[in-house]
Amino acid sequence: MAVAAVGCGLAVLLLGACDEPTSPGGTPGPAGPSGSVSLPGGLPTSLPTGLPTALPSISASLPGGGQVATGRDALKAANVPADFPIPPGAEVGAGTSRNNESVLTLSGVSDNAVAAFYRQALPAAGYTITSDNQIAGLAASIAFEGHGLKGTIGTAGIGTANGTVLTFQKQ
């Protein structure tokens, strides 16, 4: 009986209510403490309107002489050749530059499509592929050099989440 009382006390503490033990005839006894709790009746049916659908392009200076940019402005970084090939359908996310190095991010194209694109586009644009490693459907890494640059293309994707990082370094 003492164990039942402790159990009931714990239940009251956790749930805020407890049934009395059943009567000897098996019918429930009177209900314990009562109170009503009102819960929300449903989920919101609409979201606020007027939210931005895309980030604006920005460029800014970083301490130490670096630059950061978003969107297509990232392609204008000091170490990124103006005619460097970008896969069709890829969205330029952000980029940073400092001294002789620049980094860009791309999204919207699978790792397989990025690797296949650069295997053809780099040699056609006058770059030499110096290494090419891929785990199909998961990740690829391609190193290249040419036009006074060396760089890497790292791409990975799982499901619909795909991302690519391009690095450029002036030699």
φ and ψ at 88, to 5 degrees?
Answer: -60, 135
Interatomic CA distance for residues 81 and 50, integer angstroms: 37
What pLDDT does 4 receive?
Answer: 44
Q: What is the pLDDT of residue 1?
A: 47
Spell out, as residue ranges, where the chain has pLDDT lower than 50.
1-23, 55
What's the pTM value of the predicted model, to 2 decimals? 0.62
Which residues, 6 or more positions from 104, have their beta carbon under 8 angstroms from its beta carbon? 74, 75, 77, 80, 92, 93, 94, 95, 165, 166, 168
